Amino acid sequence: MLFSGIPFLFCFLPVFMIIYIIVPRRMKNIALLMGSLFFYAWGEPRYIILMIIQISINYILGLLIEYSYEVKNNKKMAKGYMIISVIFGLGILGYYKYADFFIENFNNITGLNIELLKVALPVGISFYTFQTLSYTIDVYRRQVKAQKNYINLAMYITMFPQLIAGPIVRYTDIKAKLTDREYSMEQIAYGIRRLVIGLFKKVIIANTLGEIVVQYNNTDEKTVIYTWIYAISVSLQLYYDFSGYSDMAIGLGSMLGFDFPENFRHPFEAKSATEFWRKWHITLGSFFRDYLYIPLGGNRVGNIRYIFNILIVWMATGLWHGAAWNFVIWGLYFAVFLIIEKYILKTYLEKTKIVGHIYLCIIVMISFVIFSADNIASGIDTICMMFGHSVALSGIKTLYCIKNYGIIILMAVIGSTHIPISIYMRAKKIKYIDKIMDVCEVVAIMLIMVAVTAFLVSGSYNPFLYFRF
C-alpha cells in the first residue's frame, strides 16, 4: 500500500485515524500495531510472519542481554546474545536481498552454474532489520533498557509510517513516546501539512521528473543536453521521491504523537560530498556512523586504517541500497571523494563556496546516473554522453523535452533549496500578512490534495523507488 495511493489516502488512513483517536489511551499501541500489520499485509501478506519472527527473536534476545548484565553480571554472555542478534538479522537480510547476487557472481568467477534461488525481496526488510539491530545493540551498550512489553516493541518496529521506507527510527529516539505521548490539534495540523507537502513532492514533482527519465531511456535520440537533463531529472527524482516519502512519514508520525527524525536538509545546497552526506538520508548515515564506522575506529586511527574504514562503510552503504555492482560502485565512488576531500580539497572547498557547490552538483549527478543505471556499462555510456562522447549537442526531442518539462525542472531545482521556506518565514513575520498566510496555507493544502487526487485517479506514473531497498 503506497502512501501516495487512493486506497491509503481515502480508505485506510481515515478509518485508522478514527479508530486510533476514539480508542482508550491504554489501547492505542495495540490499535497502532494491528493497523500496521494490516498495512504491511496488504502488500506483503506472506512475509508478515517473517517480520513477526524477527521481532520475537530480538525481543527475547533483548531480555537475555539485560538478564546477562543485571542477574549474571556477565558482559561476555550479553555480547554473545548481541552477536546472535546481529548474525540472525544480517543473515535474514543477506538471504533475501543478496543470495542471488552472490550466487551469480560465484558462478561468474568459478564457471559453475549453480541455480539462482530467485527469492522475492520483502518490502522494507532493510529498514526494519536495521531497527531491530539498533535496538539490541543499544541494549547491549546499556544505552536503553530492554523493552519488557512485547506489544510496545512490536509496535515500534512495525509502525506503518516508517515501516517500509524509513526514516530509520531508533528505539532510543522514541522509547519514551511508546508509553507516554501527548496528542494535540497542533500536532495533527502539523502532521497533515507535512503529509500534504510530501504528497506534492512525490506525486506532482517526482513522478513528473520520472516521466522525463522514462522518455529519455526509451528514446533513440540521446544528445549532450538531453543527457544532462536526464542526469538532473534522475537526481531530483530520487530526492523528491524519497524526501517526499520521509515528509509523509514524519507527518503521519506527528498525527500519531511521535516525533520522527528529519531525513533530508536541502542536500543539494552542500558544497562538498562530506556536507552532502550530512544532509542526505540522514538516518541511514547516522546508523552506519554509530554502528559500523565508529566501532571500526572512525577517524581516531592512522591514515591507512581511516581509508580502510571509509571504504568498508561506503561499500556497505552501496550494498544496502541494492544487490548489484552499480550500487557498490556508487558507494565506493563517494568514498573516494570523501577521502580526497579530507586530505586534499577540504581547505579549498571551504574558501570557494560557489566552486564547491558546482563541484558537488556535478559529482552527485554523475553518482545518481551510476545509481539508476541498469548495469555499470550503461551507466558509463550515459556519463560519456554527458561529456559529448559520440552524440550531438542537441536535437528535436531535446527541445521538445525542454519545452514540455522546463518549468517543472526549474520548480524542482528551486524547491530543493531553502528559498521557498525562507520566503514563507519572512512573509509570516510581516504584520497582518501572517494572518493572510494562514488562510492561504489552508487553501493551498486543499488545492494540492485536489491536484494529487487528480494525478492519482488518472493513473499517472507512480512508482516508489525506495521500495526495492
Q: What is the mean pLDDT of residues 117-139?
A: 92
- pTM of the predicted model as reported, rounded to 2 decimal places: 0.93
Q: Evaluate the CA torsion angle 141, 147, 150, 155 in order and state its sign.
A: negative
- Is the model's pLDDT at 1 over the cut of 60? yes
Q: How confident is the model at residue 427 (pLDDT cuts 50, 70, 90)?
A: confident
Helix (H, G, I), strand (E, B) or coil at 280: coil
CB 13 within 8 A of CB 195: no
User: pLDDT for 368-414, tens place per residue?
Assistant: 999 999 889 999 999 999 998 888 999 999 999 999 999 999 999 99
Cell numbers found for residue 431: 504584520
- Is the model's pLDDT at 435 over the cut of 90? no
- DSSP H helices, 141-280, are 150-158, 160-163, 171-174, 185-199, 207-218, 224-256, 273-279
CB 316 within 8 A of CB 292: yes
Mean pLDDT, the chain, integer: 92
Q: What percent of the chain has pLDDT over 90?
A: 78
- Is the model's pLDDT at 10 over the cut of 70? yes
- Greatest CA separation found in the chain? 75
Q: What is the mean pLDDT of residues 179-192?
A: 87
Annotated catalytic residues are: 321
* 27 Cβ neighbours under 8 A, 6+ residues apart: none
Q: How far apart are CA 139 and CA 78, in angstroms?
A: 9
User: How many DSSP H helices and E strands does the chain contain?
Assistant: 22, 0
Q: How confident is the model at residue 433 (pLDDT cuts 50, 70, 90)?
A: confident
Q: What is the mean pLDDT of residues 17-24?
A: 93
- Is the model's pLDDT at 424 over the cut of 90? no
- Is the model's pLDDT at 467 over the cut of 70? no
Strand ranges, E, within 56-173: none
Q: Which of 65, 128, 135 is nearest to 96 (CA)?
A: 128
Q: How confident is the model at residue 465 (pLDDT cuts 50, 70, 90)?
A: low
Type of residue numbered 10: F
CB 212 within 8 A of CB 233: yes
Cell numbers found for residue 227: 543527457
Hey, where are the domains in the chain? 6-181, 187-458
Q: What pLDDT sits at residue 274?
A: 94
Q: What pLDDT sits at residue 36?
A: 95
CB 97 within 8 A of CB 469: no
Q: Which of 166, 171, 167 is nearest to 143 (CA)?
A: 171
User: pLDDT for 111-124, tens place per residue?
Assistant: 988 999 988 889 88
Q: How far apart are CA 314 and CA 316, in angstroms?
A: 5
